[in-house]
Amino acid sequence: MKHSISVEDIKLYAHHGCLEEEEKIGGHYSVDVFIETDFTEAAEQDALIKTVDYVLVNQIVKEEMAIRSKLIESVGQRIMNRLKNAFESSEFKVVIKKLNPPINGDVALVSISIDSRH
């Protein structure tokens, strides 16, 4: 059986981007993680060890977002790799949104999405 878990709108401040100003000043980001898993045993046994720990998901996102990259695509792939290692029997979708990007226009956000779900 497949179930869904989501940890959404993880708000972070980070220094990603190709521009020198982005490295120095940084910007606001929001990250969503969508998980497909089977938490039947967790629900029946009321046992955290049998499901995806939201605290660890949040920790992984925060740690990877703290490592500077030019591309949020790179950050997204690192987050995906860590999640897959931490929770081997689950599938993930990671969305990173860069809020108010400095792209010379009135743009609310840009985003990337990486999806390993079937």
Both tokens assigned to 107: 């743009």
Give the C-alpha separation, 107 to 99, whole Å. Answer: 8
Distance (Å) of CA 100 to CA 18, 22, 27, 30: 15, 12, 8, 11
Q: Which of the residues 2, 11, 62, 98 is marked catalytic?
A: 98
What kind and span of H or E run contains 113?
A: strand 109-115
Give the C-alpha separation, 80 to 78, whole Å. Answer: 5
Residue 50 annotated as catalytic: no
Active site residues: 98
